[in-house]
């Protein structure tokens, strides 16, 4: 019987050596220490033995059982350790791999420029006044001293939203930010009609024109309008304000010059050039060898416009201007095609 037990133990331990995973461990347990294993068979047949033999064989069989169970426990640990080592090997994290960058969007260049302009104007004491994009002919033209059928309207061909029944006052997309002047003046004047308060505001926003889209003209673009109204405001205030703005925008040394011009809503009117910041005034491709770049239109608010806004032109005077952030960006970065701004090409936009 002892030989038989030795053989059982030897066979079991030998077969345990080839066990490499959990499934094989389970199978080995069933085969060698399970209920119908040869070893358990010995226990089952103890009853058939004589009284003397029974404890001897029982003890010997128990020794084998303890040995096999110990071997199984040891093997189980080894299998687990091997599985863990394998997993660590395969799932290794390579911390030297370059990371994947996350694409973060940013403000549109026009918005960035709009904010630069407004930040400078805020430092100079201007408040932001936003006005509507959909306007009436009355506000966009008539109140600004463009009479019906006036040829100056041809400077700004319009997109009409609703014409037909509205006769002389069709609804249109504003062609400039200037109608905001009338709305702002009326709002301020309404707070104290007998002695309206002074005004110092910047009016930013999108404008729309029914124009052939070319490298130089778009059917939509931003403007920043400026309006100052008060008692004793002169052309010198206009010049000083614009010159100060140009230095803050284009650099301390930036010079400006005023050229006489015409707008229906200002008298006198002027266009302002800044000294070319690309060549410093020497003449280059960007300024077309003139040394100067046109940056805005401006003038003293026309008496009729003041009147329309609720400000008595015999008491009040004021100045206004209109400038284009996209135009400023084109000059600054030598962008030769305005269509890039609304072309939504990230290769263009991501440069800003």
- Identify which range of 93-101, 114-122, 295-303, 340-348 contacts ligand DAH by CB under 6 A: 295-303
Does residue 273 touch ligand DAH according to CB under 6 A? no
Q: Within 28-87, which residues bind ligand DAH (CB under 6 A)? A: none
Q: Is the peptide bond before 57 cis (omega within 30 degrees of 0)?
A: no
Closer residue to ligand DAH (CB): 15 or 130: 130
Among 201, 298, 335, 338, binds ligand DAH (CB under 6 A): 298
* Closer residue to ligand DAH, CB minimum distance, 57 or 228: 228
Tell me, by CB under 6 A, how many residues bind ligand DAH: 11
Which residues lie below 8 Å from residue 55, measured CB to CB, with a gap of 6+? none
Binding piece for ligand DAH, criterion CB under 6 A, among 119-127, 132-140, 291-299, 336-344? 291-299
Instruction: Give 77's Cβ-side CA count (13 Å radius).
Output: 5
For residue 10, CA distances in Å to 13, 21, 34, 76, 351 come to 5, 21, 16, 19, 78
Subset of 252-271 contacting ligand DAH (CB under 6 A): 263, 266
Return d(Cα 33, Cα 39) in angstroms, integer: 7
- Smallest distance from ligand DAH to CB 177, Å: 7
* Beta strands at 171-173 and 317-323: parallel, antiparallel or unpaired: unpaired
How big is the CA angle at 164 (ends 161 and 168), to the nearest 5 degrees? 90
Least spacing, CB of residue 297 vs ligand DAH, in Å: 3
Binders of ligand DAH among residues 151 to 180 (CB under 6 A) are: 176, 178
Specify whether the backbone of 288 is left (phi greater than 0), alpha (psi in -120 to 50) or beta.
left
Could you tell me the two tokens for 226?
């400026």
Residue whose token pair is 């959990």: 22
- Could you say whether residue 326 binds ligand DAH (CB under 6 A)? no
Q: Which of residues 214-243 bind ligand DAH (CB under 6 A)?
A: 225
The answer to whether residue 322 forms part of the interface with ligand DAH (CB under 6 A) is: yes
Binding footprint of ligand DAH on the chain (CB under 6 A): 176, 178, 225, 263, 266, 297-299, 320-322
């Amino acid at each position: 019987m002892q030989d038989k037990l030795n053989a059982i133990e030897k066979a079991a331990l030998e077969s345990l050596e080839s066990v490499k995973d959990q499934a094989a461990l389970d199978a080995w347990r069933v085969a060698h220490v399970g209920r119908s294993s040869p070893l358990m068979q010995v226990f089952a047949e103890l009853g058939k033995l004589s009284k003397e033999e029974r404890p001897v064989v029982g003890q010997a069989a128990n020794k084998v059982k303890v040995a096999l169970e110990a071997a199984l426990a040891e093997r189980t640990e080894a299998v687990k350790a091997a599985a863990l080592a394998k997993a660590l090997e395969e799932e290794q994290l390579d911390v030297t791999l370059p990371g994947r960058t996350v694409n973060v969007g940013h403000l549109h260049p026009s918005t960035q420029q709009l904010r630069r302009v407004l930040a400078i104007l805020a430092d100079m004491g201007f408040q932001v006044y936003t006005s509507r994009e959909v306007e009436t002919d009355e506000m966009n033209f008539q109140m600004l001293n463009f009479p019906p059928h006036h040829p100056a309207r041809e400077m700004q061909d319009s997109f009409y939203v609703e014409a037909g029944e509205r006769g002389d006052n069709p609804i249109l997309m504003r062609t400039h930010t200037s109608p905001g002047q009338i709305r702002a003046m009326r709002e301020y004047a309404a707070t104290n009609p007998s002695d309206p308060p002074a005004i110092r505001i910047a009016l930013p926003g999108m404008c729309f024109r029914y124009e052939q889209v070319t490298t130089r003209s778009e059917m939509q673009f931003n403007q920043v309008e400026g309006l100052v109204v008060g008692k004793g405001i002169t052309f010198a205030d206009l010049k000083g304000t614009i010159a100060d703005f140009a230095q803050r925008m284009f650099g301390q040394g930036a010079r400006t010059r005023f050229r006489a011009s015409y707008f229906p809503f200002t008298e006198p009117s002027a266009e302002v050039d800044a000294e070319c910041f690309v060549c410093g005034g020497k003449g280059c491709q960007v300024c077309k060898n003139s040394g100067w770049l046109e940056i805005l239109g401006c003038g003293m608010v026309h008496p009729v416009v003041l009147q329309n806004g609720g400000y008595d032109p015999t008491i009040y005077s004021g100045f206004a201007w209109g400038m284009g952030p996209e135009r400023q960006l084109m000059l600054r970065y030598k962008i030769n095609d305005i269509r890039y701004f609304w072309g939504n090409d990230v290769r263009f936009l991501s440069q800003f």
